[in-house]
Amino acid sequence: MVVINIKVISDAVCPFCYVGKKRLERAIDLYRRSVPGGADDRFNISWLPFYLDPGSSKVGIPSLERMAQKFGADRSRAIIAHIRGVGATEGIDFTYAGKAGNTRDAHRLVQLAKQKETDGSTDLENAVITHLFRSYFEDGGDITSHDDLVAAAELSGLDGPEVRAWLSSGKGGVEVDAKVDDAYARGVSGVPHFIINDNIEIGGAQDVQVFVEKLMKARREA
């Protein structure tokens, strides 16, 4: 059995981070079915924070409005159409009904999940990431809203009142900011960014086959 550790640098309002997550999952499934002995290998996927727009509002702004502010009406419509098309191929319904804004609190929620994981498991943070993406991109959630963050946390198995107290306290912020600085220092300027076994890197939401090839390379070098 080979253990493959995958770090994903991501931001909660990055649509291609959601796409990349889906493609990585499909790649792991294909790897398990096609690589001799691959079914026995173990994958540990951990998530690291990134701020695409660190100065963004701490109060949610409708996603469509934010896109128009950044890119203009015509360009934003074209970008959204493209993202929706890509999402559809991965089973993602990008509704653009959510509210965008500062993602530091969302990352702090992931940090709480990390601190509760034991025995090397990353299952809890992956559950939180899944529900954060689904809430914001598909269910019209507000990425800045503590109510919506708590709801995602509860769906992941965390205790709602504990999460609300954590978010209100500011805890985890220092750790999150330090990890974002680490990503900048590494030269990461866009997300998603995948790091496999600390030495194989993939920039962007690449095709499934690219992920499979890199996972096979990691296996050979393990």
Indicate the number of domains in the chain: 1
What digits encode the pLDDT tens for the residues 16-55? 999 999 999 999 999 999 999 999 999 999 999 999 999 9
Domain that includes residue 209, residue range: 3-221
CB-facing half-sphere around the CA of 133: CA atoms within 13 A? 23
pLDDT of residue 128: 99
Report the alpha-carbon distance of residue 186 to residue 181 in Å, rounded. Answer: 9
- We report the CATH number of the domain holding residue 21 as 3.40.30.10
Tokens 């790897």 locate to 31
What digits encode the pLDDT tens for the residues 192-206? 999 999 999 999 999
pLDDT of residue 137: 99
* SS3 state of residue 139: coil
Amino acid at 21: K
CA 145 from centre of chain: 18
* SS3 state of residue 201: strand
pLDDT class for 56, splitting at 50, 70, 90?
very high
For residue 128, give the nearest of 45, 43, 31, 29 by alpha carbon.
Answer: 45
What digits encode the pLDDT tens for the residues 159-186? 999 999 999 999 999 999 999 999 999 9
pLDDT of residue 83: 99
For residue 7, give the nearest of 44, 37, 54 by alpha carbon.
Answer: 44
pLDDT class for 72, splitting at 50, 70, 90?
very high
pLDDT of residue 199: 97
